[in-house]
Structure 1
Amino acid sequence: LYSGFSKQIDADEYVKRVEDNTIMDVLQRYEVNPGDVFFLPAGRVHAIGAGCFIAEIQQTSNITYRIYDYDRKGPDGKGRELHTELAKDAIDYTLYPDYRTHYKAHTNATVELADCKYFTTNLLDIDTIMVRDFSDQDSFVVYICMEGKASIRDNKGNEIYVHQGQTVLIPADTDVVTISPVPGAKFMETYIG
């Protein structure tokens, strides 16, 4: 996975590197492992390499700027459209020492992975019943089961059983959710707020 830059560049160098196919030389490359988290605010250059299985949480947006396409060809035999000039002004060229989100997992606790004005995402690694109170929220909640299996029951008596790889959308008018792992489960929990 590529996230951010590995050295300081500016807009002019970015354009030059796209033109001469060396942009990948200045992107920060990460070997990824299960549980890795990267928060990618708008403007952060990133690419997902082969073999990565990811859960991507994002704000609603219909804008993506493709700055490089590995010289791939479309069905017509031509290269796909790049958005070099549009992206030039949108890219955040700030250099950071590490673009990975560091967190400490805790069993049977809510661990915040990302919190921004568009969404909050938490990790729930549970081996006992967990009750989540959303009565003060005005948002739907999405649960992605990353490991194990569990039942999810709301305060209205609705219940569903989920296992690894399944996603559940909890409506915004739900006040309380009870998650009962069998025997343990790991979830990503996301809501607006």
Structure 2
Amino acid sequence: MADAKTLEELAHPEYWNNRYQKGADGGTFEWFKSFKNLEGFFTQYLPKPSNEGRSPQILHLGCGNSELPIDLHSIGYRNQVCVDFSEVVINDMGTRNAERDGIDWKVADVRDLKDINDASMDVAIDKGTLDAMLSGSLWDPPEPVRKNTTAYIDQVVRVLKPGGVFIYITYRQPHFMKPMVARDGKWDLKVITLNEDAGTFDYFAFVMTKH
């Protein structure tokens, strides 16, 4: 378990630039679950590309060097935007995947998505990003945590289209996370437990559909 100082540093781009720079070997890392583990879930909850070839606009929030955008691209999702506040990882992923049409890589802070238009996204996906903003007690989060998480979720509400879906995957217990992601009158929220076998560690998928 990371110490308190390291947990606080996770909310800053300098930490991640340094981490990705040290690991600049063309590798990837998946927070929480791989696409293989989640494919059944995504099949159920992601809107599918149309027969006319139109793909839903998907926003990956804090994409890091996850292979999820590439995995989705391989099954027909050709309208994806991947944002991360680490310039190092965005440059790396953009270079490595330059031949894949339909994936844009952008340096952006999820707390201030100023280059993403209002109501422009069909889907937003978070796999570990909100969790990286958390430090201190989850019963009574410190003020910086409250400020960061509120700004982030408000941005997701803003950029999603009406009827759009925000998918957040976490290992955190739902009773801690629901107050952070709930927005009365903005979206409906359901929580799905992602456990593959009895006795395995539970993960949770929050699925929020914007009104």
Q: What is the TM-score when the length of structure 1 is the normalising length?
A: 0.29
Greater strand percent: which structure?
1
As a proportion of its length, which structure holds more helix?
A: 2
In our comparison, the structure showing a higher alpha carbon Rg is 1
